[in-house]
C-alpha cells in the first residue's frame, strides 16, 4: 500500500442545485486492496453513517471511466483515492514523477493508445495532481490507525457541510448556548447532563438539535426516544440492544436479562467516546440499565437525559451544575411559533392579531400547546377560529 489522499469535489451547477447523492466516492484500482485496506476503510465509513460509493466492477472492466461513473463522482462530496502497487514500497514521489511501476504502466499505455495519446497525457496530468494532494503514506504504519484517522477527518469535514434545519424550533439560539456550555465539548471528561421540565417545553427537540450538531465528533452515538413509553412496551433489554446497535452497528449482540445487558454495555463502550440521549426517562432503573456509571463510557463521552423529574437526575448523581431547566417561550417567541403553525409566517395575518394573542396566552409559552393550536386556526376565519 502506498498512498491515500482525499479531495473535495468541485460541484457542477446541477450538483449544487439538486444536492449530493454520496458523501464519499472511494476510488481504487486492483484486487490487492479491495479485500484489505479499501474494504476496511469502506466498512469504517459505513459504520460512521458516511454514505460511500465503492465501484466494484466498472474500473476493473475497462480503462476508460464511463459517463455513468463520472456522474457518480460529480454527485459525491469527497473523493478518496487509494494508490497502490501490490503492497510494495512504492511511494508518493513514484506516483508524482511517474517512476518505477507507474512509469512502466504509462509507457505501455502510450504504446497501446498511440492513436489517442492526448487521453494518456490527461491521465498523466491527473495522476500527478492526485499525488500532490496531502494524504497518508502507509509505509510502516498500522492500517487500522490510518483508517481511523481518515474517517475522523472526513467526518469533521462533513459536519460543516450539513445544514440541519429543525423546522419551527423558535428560541433555539439562547437555549442552545446554555446547553452547549454544560456539554463542555473538547474536554476529555465524562459528563451526564440533564434537561428537565414539564411536558410540552420542547426538551426532546432541544436534545435533538444538540445531538444532530455534535454526534459526528464522537466514536458512536445513540438517541433513544421515549424511553418511558418504549420501556413499557418492549422492556429494558430491547432498549439496551438498540443502544448497542446504534453505536456498534451490530445486530448479533444477544442477551436475555437487564444485568447481562448492562455488563455488555460497560465492556463494549468503556473505550469509546459516545454521545447518548436518553429521552423522557421516568424511572431510576432505566438509567441504571442504560447509563449507570460514567466509567461505562470512554473519555470525552456525553450522556444527555431528558425528564420531567428533576429529583430523578439528582438521584442518579447528575450534578446540579449540569442540569438544564427547560424554559417556556417568551411572548415574542410564542407569537412567532404560533404564526408559523397557523399562517406559515413569522407574524399573524391581518385580522388575526387579537385571536393570536389569546392563543399564546392560553398556551402559556408551551411549544407543544402552540404546535396544536396553530394548525387548529389554519384556514378558519377570525370569527370561527375560537381558542378552545
385 lies in a domain? no
CATH number where 297 lies? 3.40.50.300
pLDDT for the residue 261: 95
The predicted model scores a pTM of 0.61
387 lies in a domain? no
104 lies in a domain? yes
Helical residues (DSSP H) of the chain, grouped into ranges: 13-18, 31-34, 37-47, 58-61, 67-74, 92-97, 100-112, 117-132, 143-159, 172-183, 203-214, 227-234, 236-248, 258-269, 284-291, 310-315, 331-343, 353-363, 367-377
**In the block, residue with C-alpha cell 463542555:** 184
165 lies in a domain? no
197 lies in a domain? yes
Of 102-106, 176-180, 197-201, the poorest mean pLDDT is in 102-106
Which residue segment(s) compose the domain that 11 sits in?
3-159
Domain match, 151 and 13 both: yes
pLDDT band at 58 (very low <50, low <70, confident <90, very high): very low
CA atoms of 164 and 257, how far apart (whole Å): 38
Domain match, 316 and 336 both: no
Domain match, 130 and 23 both: yes
Neighbours of 19 (CB within 10 A): 10
CA atoms of 25 and 146, how far apart (whole Å): 18
pLDDT for the residue 16: 36
Query: Which span out of 90-104, 114-128, 210-224 was modeled with the highest average pLDDT?
Result: 210-224
75-92 per-residue burial string, b: 16 or more CB within 10 A, e: under 16: bbbbbbbbbbbeeeebbb
pLDDT for the residue 294: 95
pLDDT digit string (tens) for 258-279? 999 999 999 999 999 999 999 9
383 lies in a domain? no
Domain match, 339 and 313 both: no
On the question of pLDDT at 87 being above 70, the answer is no
Q: Which of 111, 132, 159 is the last residue of a domain?
A: 159
Domain match, 315 and 361 both: no
Q: Which of 107, 131, 159 is the last residue of a domain?
A: 159
Domain match, 121 and 239 both: no
On the question of pLDDT at 90 being above 70, the answer is no
Domain match, 297 and 181 both: yes
Domain match, 38 and 120 both: yes
263 lies in a domain? yes
Which residues are registered as beta bridge partners of 22? 76
User: Left if phi > 0, otherwise alpha if psi is -120 to 50, otherwise beta: which for 86?
Assistant: left
On the question of pLDDT at 28 being above 50, the answer is yes
Query: Residue 50's Cα: distance from chain center in Å?
Result: 8
164 lies in a domain? no
Domain match, 366 and 339 both: yes
**In the block, residue with C-alpha cell 494518456:** 120
Domain match, 209 and 335 both: no
Write out the three cell numbers for 227.
Answer: 424511553
**Strand pairing of 22-27 and 302-307?**
unpaired
CA atoms of 250 and 47, how far apart (whole Å): 10
* More confident site: 172 or 150: 150
- Domain count for the chain: 3
Of 206-210, 340-344, 381-385, the poorest mean pLDDT is in 381-385
**In the block, residue with C-alpha cell 377570525:** 382
Amino acid at each position: 500500500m502506498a498512498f491515500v489522499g482525499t479531495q473535495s469535489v468541485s460541484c457542477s451547477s446541477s450538483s449544487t442545485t439538486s444536492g449530493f447523492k454520496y458523501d464519499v466516492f472511494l476510488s481504487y484500482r486492483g484486487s490487492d486492496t479491495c479485500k484489505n485496506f479499501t474494504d476496511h476503510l469502506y466498512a469504517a465509513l459505513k459504520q460512521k453513517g458516511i454514505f460511500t460509493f465503492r465501484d466494484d466492477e466498472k474500473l476493473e472492466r475497462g480503462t476508460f471511466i464511463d459517463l455513468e461513473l463520472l456522474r457518480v463522482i460529480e454527485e459525491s462530496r469527497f473523493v478518496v483515492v487509494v494508490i497502490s502497487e501490490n503492497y510494495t514500497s512504492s511511494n508518493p514521489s513514484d506516483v508524482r514523477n511517474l517512476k518505477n511501476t507507474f512509469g512502466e504502466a504509462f509507457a505501455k499505455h502510450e504504446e497501446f493508445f498511440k492513436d489517442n495519446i492526448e487521453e494518456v497525457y490527461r491521465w498523466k496530468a491527473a495522476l500527478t495532481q492526485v499525488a500532490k494532494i496531502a494524504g497518508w503514506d502507509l509505509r510502516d504504519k498500522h492500517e487500522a490507525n490510518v483508517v481511523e484517522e481518515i474517517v475522523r477527518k472526513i467526518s469533521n469535514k462533513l459536519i460543516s457541510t450539513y445544514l440541519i434545519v429543525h423546522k419551527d424550533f423558535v428560541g433555539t439560539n439562547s437555549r442552545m448556548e446554555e446547553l452547549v456550555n454544560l456539554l463542555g465539548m473538547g474536554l476529555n471528561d465524562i459528563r451526564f447532563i440533564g434537561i428537565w421540565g414539564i411536558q410540552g417545553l420542547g426538551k426532546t427537540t432541544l436534545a435533538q438539535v444538540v445531538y444532530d450538531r455534535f454526534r459526528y465528533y464522537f466514536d458512536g452515538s445513540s438517541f433513544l426516544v421515549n424511553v418511558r413509553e418504549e420501556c413499557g412496551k418492549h422492556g429494558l433489554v430491547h432498549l439496551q440492544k438498540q443502544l448497542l446497535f446504534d453505536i456498534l452497528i451490530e445486530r448479533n449482540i444477544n442477551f436475555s436479562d437487564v444485568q447481562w445487558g448492562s455488563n455488555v454495555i460497560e465492556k463494549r463502550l468503556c473505550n469509546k467516546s459516545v454521545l447518548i440521549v436518553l429521552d423522557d426517562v421516568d424511572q431510576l432503573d432505566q438509567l441504571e440499565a442504560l447509563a449507570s456509571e460514567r466509567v461505562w463510557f470512554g473519555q470525552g463521552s456525553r450522556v444527555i437525559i431528558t425528564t420531567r423529574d428533576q429529583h430523578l437526575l439528582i438521584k442518579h448523581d447528575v450534578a446540579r451544575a449540569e442540569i438544564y431547566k427547560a424554559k417556556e417561550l417568551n411572548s415574542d417567541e410564542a407569537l412567532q411559533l404560533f404564526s408559523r403553525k397557523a399562517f406559515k409566517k413569522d407574524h399573524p395575518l391581518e385580522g388575526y392579531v387579537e385571536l393570536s394573542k389569546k392563543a399564546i396566552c392560553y398556551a402559556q409559552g408551551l411549544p407543544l400547546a402552540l404546535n396544536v393550536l396553530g394548525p387548529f386556526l389554519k384556514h378558519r376565519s377570525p370569527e370561527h377560529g375560537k381558542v378552545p
